[in-house]
Every structure is written in structure tokens, then in C-alpha cells.
Amino acid sequence: MGLDTDIRKIPTHLLNTEDPVFEFNKQIIDATKDLCVAYKPNIAFYESMGVKGWKSLQKTLDYIPKDIFTIADAKRGDIGNTSSMYARAFFEEMDFDSVTVAPYMGSDSVKPFLDFEGKWAIVLVLTSNSGGLDFQMTEDKNGKQLYKKVLSTVQNWGENIMFVIGATRAEMLREVRSLAPESFLLVPGVGAQGGSLEEVAENELNEHCGLLVNSSRGIIYASSDERFADEARRKAMELQQQMELQMVKKGLI
């Protein structure tokens, strides 16, 4: 579940609390923690608020049950020394389980995140936004598209690597899975962004599941009244039941 918490969108009655962003997240977590295998705070929503936003983020991270996987959706990517500092910030200081990484600067951008035992780098490969087509689909002289080169190359850089594959690129999902048959895929875009859970599951589930399906706005902003957490739970339960059905169809449960 994406915790893309925008203080301009949370229910207005929370604005009277000491920390509205954390209070919103706390109630969402309380309502969904038995349905959710991972929480993914989008770091931009917190750092846009300065120091108080970072404090809300840390309080949220500390509140998430320790048996639930955490993803820092930070999309960091820089040269080696800087990437090492980003990795230290999210893995040592904040103790996230994983962080999203942009691979445009090559192995220097990714490998520093692989130096932390038990932590994961989740590498951007194929994204849902329309601008992703500007570069991701360009071809080299042999006709190989850039996203495919990223996918095949990064797999050789180490273990504990996942990949971000946008759900709205449905026509490419089967080919992505064929190029990374054993990798875990983080798939945003289901729900409010128009991605089809059925298409994602049909094309990207492997024999180990191998799939983290993310929904953010479709769950956390399902309601803006005082019962917002109850409505978020209802939406999360719907998605979880749909996912369970797809896994039954695949014979995984």
C-alpha cells in the first residue's frame, strides 16, 4: 500500500491533531495491517514539508509492524559516494527494508544499495507515466529497447534486486516476466491509475508469486470523512480478495 499522504487531501478533522500526516497514516495502518504485506511511503510527500515531514515519516515507519515489508519510494540515483549516503540514510538511519532506485547513471547508482545485508534495491525499469515513453522505449542499433537492456543488465549486478514495472503497460508484462523469470516485481498503477490487476497477475505471477501489487490513492483516499479508515479497509480488502482469486487461478494457493 502506498502511503502517498498529502496534507491537502487528508480529512479536515485531522488538521486539529498534533501531527495530521502521522495521524492519518496511523489510522490507515491500523485499518489495513492484517491485509497488507508492504507499505510504501512516497518520500516526496514528506520531504515537501521539510523537517516536520521527515519527522512524520519516521514516526510512520516506527509504527508499521516489524513483520511488514517497508519500501522507501525515493527513486534515488547518483554516483557511487552519493548513492552510498542515500543508502545509509534509508537503510541505517531510518531502517527501511528497501528503496526505489533510478539506474540511469549505471551500476554506480545501484550497487551501493546492495552492500546492506537483508536490504533490497528496487530498480525502475518500466513506468506507468506517459513521459516514460520518451526514453524507455528507444531502441539500440540491434532493435533492443532501453527498458529491456536495463532489465537484463541489472540482474547481473547482485542479489536482493527487484524491479518496478508499471501496471498500465499491460501489453509488455508477459515479455518482462520472460526476461526476469525469478525476480520480484513491484507493480504500481493498479486502481486509480487504470492498471488491471487481472492482466498483471495473468502475465507476471510466477511459481513463487514474485509480485508486489501497489495501490495508493484508490485506498487511502477512498473517503474524506471521519470514517475514512473504514473505507480504506474496505478497498484494501477488495484488492486483497481479487489478488487471492488470481493466485487461485494460477494454482499458487
Nearest one of 97, 123, 91, 127 to 110, comparing CA atoms: 123
Measured CA to CA in angstroms, residue 24 lies from 20, 21, 84, 250 at distances of: 6, 5, 32, 36
Count of domains forming the chain: 1
Task: Extract the residue ranges of the chain whose pLDDT is less than 70.
Answer: 168-170, 191-195
Query: 60, 26 in Cβ contact below 8 A?
Result: yes
Residue 217's Cα: distance from chain center in Å? 13
C-alpha cell at 150: 536495463
Query: 22, 56 in Cβ contact below 8 A?
Result: yes
3-state secondary structure at position 123: strand
Question: For residue 194, what pLDDT is reported?
Answer: 60
Positive/negative CA dihedral, 89, 24, 59, 40: negative
The pTM of the whole model exceeds 0.85: yes
Question: For residue 109, what pLDDT is reported?
Answer: 95
For residue 78, give its domain range: 2-249
Query: 234, 47 in Cβ contact below 8 A?
Result: no
Question: For residue 54, what pLDDT is reported?
Answer: 98
Point out the residues that are catalytic.
75
What's the pLDDT tens digit per position in 184-206?
999 987 765 566 788 888 878 88
CATH code for the domain of 113: 3.20.20.70
